[in-house]
Amino acid sequence: MQIPYEFLGKIFVLMLFLALLGTGLALLIGAYSFKKHRIIFPDFVLFTLYLFYSPAKWICRVFRIRGTLVDDILIDVRNAVMYDDFLNIKGRRMLLLPQCLRHPSCKARCDPVYGYECKRCGLCDIAKLCDAADRCNFKVFVVPGGSFVKKIFKEYRPEACLGVACYNELSENMQAVSFVPVQGVLLLKDGCFNTEANVEEIIQKMEMCNV
Ligand code: SF4
Output the CA 96–ligand 1 centroid distance in Å: 15
Q: Which residues, in sequence order, are CB contacts of 43 under 8 Å at separation 6+?
A: none
Quote the pLDDT of residue 52: 93
Q: What is the mean pLDDT of residues 32-50?
A: 89
| 44 HSE (CA, 13 A, CB side) | 14
Tell whether the model's pLDDT for residue 162 goes beyond 90. yes
pLDDT tens digits, one per residue of 49-78: 999 999 999 999 999 998 799 999 999 999
Q: Are 111 and 142 in contact (CB under 8 A)?
A: no
Quote the pLDDT of residue 95: 97
Q: Are 55 and 19 in contact (CB under 8 A)?
A: yes
Rounded-to-5 percentages of helix, strand, coil across the chain: 55, 15, 25
Output the CA 209–ligand 1 centroid distance in Å: 25
Residue 210's pLDDT band (cuts 50, 70, 90): confident
Distance CA 21, CA 44 (A): 13
Output the CA 116–ligand 1 centroid distance in Å: 9
pLDDT tens digits, one per residue of 100-149: 999 999 999 999 999 999 999 999 999 999 999 999 999 999 999 888 99
- Read off φ and ψ for residue 91, nearest 5 degrees: -85, -140
Please give the domain boundaries of the chain with CATH numbers for all domains.
Answer: 5-67 (no CATH), 89-208 (3.40.50)
Residue 205's pLDDT band (cuts 50, 70, 90): very high
Tell whether the model's pLDDT for residue 82 goes beyond 80. yes
pLDDT tens digits, one per residue of 10-29: 898 999 889 888 998 998 99
Average predicted confidence (pLDDT) for the chain: 92
Distance CA 79, CA 72 (A): 10
Quote the pLDDT of residue 32: 86
Residues framing ligand 1 (Cβ under 6 A): 102-103, 106, 108, 118-124, 126-127
- Full-prediction pTM beyond 0.75? yes
Q: What is the mean pLDDT of residues 34-39?
A: 83
Output the CA 50–ligand 1 centroid distance in Å: 34
